[in-house]
Homo-oligomer: A and B are copies of this chain.
Amino acid sequence: MERSRFELAESAIPTAWYNVQADLPEPLPPVIHPGTKEPIGPEDLAPLFPMELIKQEVSQDRYVDIPETVRDMYRLWRPTPLVRARRLEQALDTPAHLYYKYEGVSPVGSHKPNTAVPQAYYNREEGITHLTTETGAGQWGSAMAMACAFLDLECEVYMVRVSYDGKPYRRTMMESYGAQVTASPSSSTAAGKRVLEGDPDSPGSLGIAISEAVEAAVASDGKKKYCLGSVLNHVLMHQTVIGQEALAQFEQAGEYPDVVVGCTGGGSSFGGFVLPLLAAKISGERDTRFVAVEPAAAPSLTAGRYTYDFGDEAATTPLIRMHTLGHGFVPAPIHAGGLRYHGMAPIVSHLYELGLIEAVAVHQIPVFDAAQLFTRTEGIVPAPAPSHALRVAIDEALRCKESGESKVIAFNLCGHGHFDMKAYRSYLDGELVNYEHTEEKIAAALEGVPAI
């Protein structure tokens, strides 16, 4: 029996996060204050984040030590397995070697706790007892709720109303961890009230929920801080435990990937897997291809503009240089809720501009075709978001079949689909649609991007 699973001992959990900023050929553009149009300083972010995370956001150190308390919690699910998908390879009849790093083994079913735990930890270290955040489909909210349970923090989650009603099991999970979950828009914030006055039946949006969570933190006189599950530099850095483990596992396997694929919404799943492997490409040591896969319904890299824009719809955050569809862009209701974001992580955007990574946009029906094939061959029902990466990994493997090349292709299976069965139901019932004609929507939304 040739090996398929590459497991590491818990002692192999990384001891430091990798900070790609140390190795970038050009530095990241600064974050800009929307009023002064000047680069922001730590004090601008202090009402929202603890100082250690603000430092990490701009750190140029190659490695940042992982606190022992955080590593101790990581081992509840880390190291995660790297698996060679032999049965999928057989079904595709491809000479390619297909690997997936499986983050669905975490208690909440995704990679999100990798950053939720350190974010909760640093807040607690600085005396914070109460955190606010938003969640769409619920993956990030679940991760924060769990992290807060571990560290005895209060957790306040603003959950987009349409998900609150449609995905009640995610809410139950968060409440099982002890979190307080509020449907957004709510009447407990000014931002929420404003929306409800205009539309008492508003289904909510991630943008509104962010505004509520931010307001709740800012209005607390420093008692509460706010947490974000993607986009920011420190979030991507925390996720690099994924790629670091994968490097050790590829060494076990005696192979090195030719093509690395990840899905991109805010960029944390992609960044976590890719960044530790990117150093060898930047240095010229390896010629790995890195492919970011985004939904055709929110194609920030492939169809957005690289410019300064707000991180939220309500235009309250600092301005970030990134690939954006315009902060007013509302993606079509695809089932990969975590990929429905108008912007892209500054690090991922920067790498794309530098030509170090590629990007491709895919529609959801072929994504679910790939997910079903994976389910029937490898057993795991994948979440809709990483199924985007899976789709492109399969396409690469099929190209290998044509060319006869036995490339090594790896993708980040960053979550399972146990809470996404409604989406699979739609797929099985033939009710899924590919959303076309986003171009006009993008053009309109880009008109709202501020001039810098």
Contact = CB atoms under 8 A, between A and B. Distances in A.
Interface stretch (A40-48, A339-347, A420-428): A420-428
Contacts of A452: none
- For chain A, what secondary structure do more than half of its interface residues adopt (helix, strand, loop), or is it mixed? helix
Contact of A11 (B1, B113, B428): B1
Nearest to A8: B7
A444 interface: no
A329 B63 CA distance: 63
Interface string A360-393: 0000000000001001111111000000000000
B76 A146 contact: no
Contacts of A76: 4, 83, 87, 378-380
Most chain B beta-carbon contacts within 10 A, residue among A5, A72, A424: A5
Interface string A115-155: 00000000000000000000000000000001001100000
A178 interface: yes
A418 B5 contact: no
A425 B178 contact: no
Contact of A72 (B1, B71, B108, B175): B1
A38 B212 CA distance: 73
Interface stretch (A26-34, A166-174, A285-293, A306-314): A166-174
Nearest to A148: B376
Contact of A7 (B9, B68, B168, B376): B9
A177 B378 contact: no
Given A172-B421, A172-B428, A425-B172, A149 B376 contact: yes
A242 to B, nearest CB: 17
A73 to B, nearest CB: 8
Contacts of A9: 5, 7
A176 B381 contact: yes
A428 B379 contact: no
A442 to B, nearest CB: 33
Interface in A87-122: 87, 105-109, 113
Contact of A379 (B5, B107, B380): B107
A109 B75 CA distance: 20
Interface string A77-89: 1000001000100
A3 interface: yes
A173 B108 CA distance: 18
Given A10-B3, A109-B418, A419-B418, A381 B173 contact: yes
A178 B376 contact: yes
A402 to B, nearest CB: 26
Contacts of A4: 10, 75-76
Contacts of A113: 379
Contacts of A108: 379
A10 B113 CA distance: 26
Interface in A298-333: none
A241 to B, nearest CB: 15
Contact of A425 (B146, B168, B376, B424): B168
A175 B375 CA distance: 11
Contacts of A380: 76, 107
A105 B104 CA distance: 9
A416 to B, nearest CB: 8
Contact of A372 (B68, B169, B176, B418): B176
Nearest to A170: B421
A11 B4 CA distance: 10
Contacts of A10: 1, 3-5, 7
Contacts of A177: 375-376
Contacts of A83: 76
A105 B105 contact: yes
B379 A169 contact: no
Interface in A1-28: 1, 3-5, 7-11
21 contacts: A1-B10, A1-B71, A5-B9, A7-B7, A7-B8, A76-B87, A76-B378, A76-B379, A105-B105, A106-B379, A107-B378, A107-B379, A109-B418, A113-B379, A146-B379, A150-B379, A169-B425, A172-B424, A172-B425, A176-B375, A178-B376
Nearest 7 Cβ contacts at the A-B interface: A107-B379, A169-B421, A418-B418, A149-B376, A172-B421, A5-B10, A107-B380
